[in-house]
Structure formats: structure tokens, C-alpha cells
Structure 1
């Protein structure tokens, strides 16, 4: 059914020019939005009279606000479909729900549990699917993260990004996004945790294309040495609450603190996609002048705008 429809599933599915275009368009729409001036009818009427479906199986703050804001920016009407609002998974199959929802809407922003759910949506939907988070990928976060880095440093090429934490959906897309932007990537994960081999393979290929280096280590200090950007995320993802104590023991020594940031480049910045927990990063770092977490959070809005423009309104990516 979705033949000929382009979906946003992961950064790995994009070419470097396509990804760069998304970041640039996010910056473009941010400039318009922050100017305080009325937007042109070309923007405000682009989705006039159309619904933007938000199929969310998980709680959300930034994703919900940014998606609704982006839909309104283009004149669309956002419709939130939470797990307790519709029949999905209760009295109706994924296939039936997808067919019905896509028949009435311009696109579906999907914040779901498993990557297989995103794949099912893409297979059966008659409109573009925007992956707003699954257990394997988080492309909108990667778009906003590179925009945030670009704003902080002016130029991305040659920077070093250190990831300190779990091998999760955020780094799966951020690693590829950073490499496509010419940023060297060093991923530090605890022993016993492995990055997704598919992501590692894509990262190595992109690394060869752009000349940016990629490595996976078990040593946070090594990763943070001379890093311009230090990034972490939750150690216990949604759905892993039962494993919390085991995971916290596993992540001993991985808290981002002054000991790690002293190893970084003088101009280091700290990023976190939120919500944060004390075990991941100290207040000293999180609320420091080097932290750009709140700029990063705001930029989710402009990433959603860029995604709607490219995949729903169908303005050329590159």
C-alpha cells in the first residue's frame, strides 16, 4: 500500500545530502518562527484542512508539543491518539487501525514500542509515517541534535562527539547523523552492552564516505578526552523498569560529571534529550553554562517542521 510513499524511519535510510537538507530546513523554519512575524500563506496553508495523526503508545513531553506545534505552523490540525484513546491493540488489529487512520489523515507521527510496529505502519499506511520514537531509532532527535551542535559551534566538521551511556535508539540515529555531518564519534558503553551491529556497519560505511572517525569503547574517559560534545541519555529506558537496579550497577562509572568534562576540549558542550536522572549526569554539568539541553529540547519543534515539509508537503529533501 505504501509503494511510492517516502517515510522517515531512521537516519540510516537517508543520504548525507538528504539529512543535511533536513537540518538546514529546520534552521530555516526556526528563523521564521523566532522572528515573530506572520508566516506566509505558503507555509500556513500547506496543510490547511488536513489532519496530522499522532499515534503514541508511550508518554511524551517534547515529542507531543513539537509535533502539535509543527502541525499548526503548517495549518494542519493535530490529532493525538494515545494508547487509551483508540482501539489499537485492544479490539482492533494494527493492520485495520493503520488502514483507517491513514485514510483520513495527511501523515502519522508514530511514537511506539517496537521497530516492528513502525515497519507495519509503513507497510500498510497510505500516507507518510514519521518515526517519532521506537526501540531502535529516534530520527527527529538526531535532526534536532545536529541543529543544536551547528548553532553552538557554527561548523560541525572536525568536532568530536562522545556518547556516554546505553547503546539505545538515540545513539543509533545520532551516531549516523553526526558522521554524516563530519563529526568524529566515540561511543562509550559498559562491558556486556553491544551496539546494534547494523548500526555499526552503517557507521563504518558513512565514516569512510565523510572521513569522520567512529569507535566503540568501554572507557568513558577515553571517549570524553578532547570531546567537543558530550551526550548521554537514560540508563533505564521505558519498559526496562524491572531491570533498574541491575542496569544502574552496570552503568557504574558512566555518570557525566566534572571528572569527565575536565578531559573534554575547552569549548565542550553537554547534551541530553531529556528527561534526565541524577545517575546519568550531575546538576553541576546539567545546569552549567556548557549545557545546551534546553536549546536542544526546543529544537525538536523545528525538526518536526522540517520532517513535515519534506515527507508530508513533499518539498525536495536535497
Structure 2
């Protein structure tokens, strides 16, 4: 949906929704990464940059969060705008008002909406009903803000994205989906290792493979973490039981027992590999304490970049 302004690069993003990286070209994603790097520089040098002065972002949270809430709220403040926190208990959505009606009303008050929810369909329906930009802060299918920040972090650390190998070890969840889509667009080789029965969504796999064929990158889905991690430039993992799957914790601990990213497994990666985790981490579960706190870990750099990547998105589309 296009709800456009031109910058010096010729990229048109004003008024766009940010529901998934699949909706953006490689050039547009790279533009957002470059802008995030520039906004990070401005922030660190104390340069005031407030393109969203007088604008308000409504933040709807059906799922709790640390990084998403703080980074969006601080980001809007730094861009000169205001962020309004709205839990599901604060809205009539919790009492049966439709997404369409909510989207229409909020479009009359706000300049943008960020939604962190369970069903991806909710984000799509909200965007269809809204006449202002809608940002996906996380759904069960996609986490584009995190993936954008991750690729910004890799770009800063490695100086490039094209041709690098990212190995994702763990659950084929929303994080795996967004890394696959983003990597396939940007020319990153992505290897996903999951236990049987926990592979990523088949439709997303096919979409990512088609995009990888266009960018010249490779996408592989395997069930052996050692196979995936061989010669990896980046090793990535996430919790085994994402929010909403807590009742499967014991079952998943058994299924993922051989998928812990630990000192033995990372020996198969490149000697200068980077370790990433979108956090929160369950230390000693999906990743050993030694890897999480080791010299290759850049987990807090990527956490910080949520702020800068999301500022780039908000500044561009709002």
C-alpha cells in the first residue's frame, strides 16, 4: 500500500508501510541501512536531527517487549516526535472493535502506527485499514525491524553484505523468516539448521529461494547444525520457545538438545565469525555462556542498532 517524496538517491519511501522486508527492494533495504548508519553517527556526535517534529507514533503492544518499546519510544523522541504506548487493554480492540475501525480512527489522530502482535494477519489488516504508515514491530511470521538492524550491524562490522554466509541455528521462526528474506535480497548466503518439524514456513522458503536466485546468493535448509555452520561469517540463534509457545518448553528442549550454539559447534565457523542473538537469551539453553559473552559476540551492538534502524524506517516513511 502506498499511502511519495524523493531524496537524493531517488528512493521513494514516504507513506509506505513496513510490514516485511519482502515488500522492499535490495536498493531500498540498503538505503535504510545506510541511513541508519548515518543517523547513528549524528546521534553519537550530538547532532540534532528532528525530521518528525510535531508527529506522533502510536505503539500498539499485544506482546510485551523491552527492546521494541524502548527503541521506538526513544527513537521518536530523538527524531523530534512523540510516541504513545498503547497496550491491548488500553484499546477497544480488547473489547471487540474491529481492526478496520481502529485503523481508520487512529489514522485521524496519528502520523504512524507500530504494532507488536501475534498474528501476522493483524498487521496486514491494520495496514489495509490505515491511511498512515504501519510498522511491523513483530508478528508470529516476521520481525523485519530486527533483521534490518542485524544486517546494519553486519554491514558495520564486515564492511559488506554480498557474499557473506549467515548460519542460523534453531527454531524456524519469525526471526529465521526475516533473516532469510533480507539475506536473499541483499546477496547474503543463508543456511538455516532446525530440527525435523521446526523448519521455516514453506512459502517463505520458496519466496526466499526465488529472490536468492536473482541476487546470486544461496539459501539452504538443513537439519544438521554442523552442516549449516561450516565456514559461516555470522552465527545466529534465537530462543527455542518463542513468546506464545511457552507451553512447549520441555518438548522443545528435547527436540533442540543438539542445536545449542556452543564452543564445540562454533569451531566449524570461520575464525573471525560474529555471534548474534536478537535477545532475550536463555543463557545455557540455545547458546552457551562462553559464546554469548565471548570475543565474537556482538549481541549488544545489534540490540543498540534497533534504535538506529527503526529511526531510519520512521524518518523515511513518516
Say whether residues 1:14 and 2:19 are aligned partners: no
2:56/2:84 contact within 8 Å kept: yes
Q: Distance in 2 between matches of 1:209 and 1:98?
A: 36
Q: Distance in 1 between matches of 2:189 and 2:27?
A: 18
Query: Following TM superposition, by how much is the alpha carbon of 1:91 offset from its aligned partner in structure 2, in angstroms?
Result: 4.7
2:278/2:303 contact within 8 Å kept: yes
Q: Distance in 1 between matches of 2:148 and 2:123?
A: 19
2:59/2:115 contact within 8 Å kept: yes
Instruction: Tell me the TM-score normalized by structure 2.
Output: 0.93
Query: Following TM superposition, by how much is the alpha carbon of 1:242 offset from its aligned partner in structure 2, in angstroms?
Result: 1.1
Q: Distance in 2 between matches of 1:141 and 1:291?
A: 17
| Residue in 1 that maps onto 2:185 | 180
1:107 to 83, 105, 112: 112
| Residue in 2 that maps onto 1:266 | 271
| Structure 2 alignment gaps of length 5 or more | 4-14
Q: Distance in 2 between matches of 1:154 and 1:99?
A: 43
Describe the SS at the equivalent of 1:281. coil
Describe the SS at the equivalent of 1:195. coil
Query: Following TM superposition, by how much is the alpha carbon of 1:272 offset from its aligned partner in structure 2, in angstroms?
Result: 0.2
Q: Distance in 1 between matches of 2:236 and 2:194?
A: 12
| Residue in 1 that maps onto 2:281 | 276
Q: Distance in 2 between matches of 1:200 and 1:177?
A: 12
1:249 to 250, 254, 271: 254
Query: Following TM superposition, by how much is the alpha carbon of 1:123 offset from its aligned partner in structure 2, in angstroms?
Result: 1.2
1:27 to 18, 23, 37: 37
| Residue in 1 that maps onto 2:229 | 224
| Structure 1 alignment gaps of length 5 or more | 313-318
Q: Distance in 2 between matches of 1:47 and 1:26?
A: 15
| Residue in 2 that maps onto 1:306 | 312
2:59 to 47, 54, 61: 54
Q: Distance in 2 between matches of 1:207 and 1:50?
A: 38
Runs of 4+ in 1 over 3 A off after TM superposition: 2-5
RMSD: 1.3
How many residues are matched? 306
Deviation readout 1:67-126 (Å, 9 max, x if unpaired): 011111221111000122222222533222222122100000110110010011011111
| Residue in 2 that maps onto 1:198 | 203
2:103/2:127 contact within 8 Å kept: no
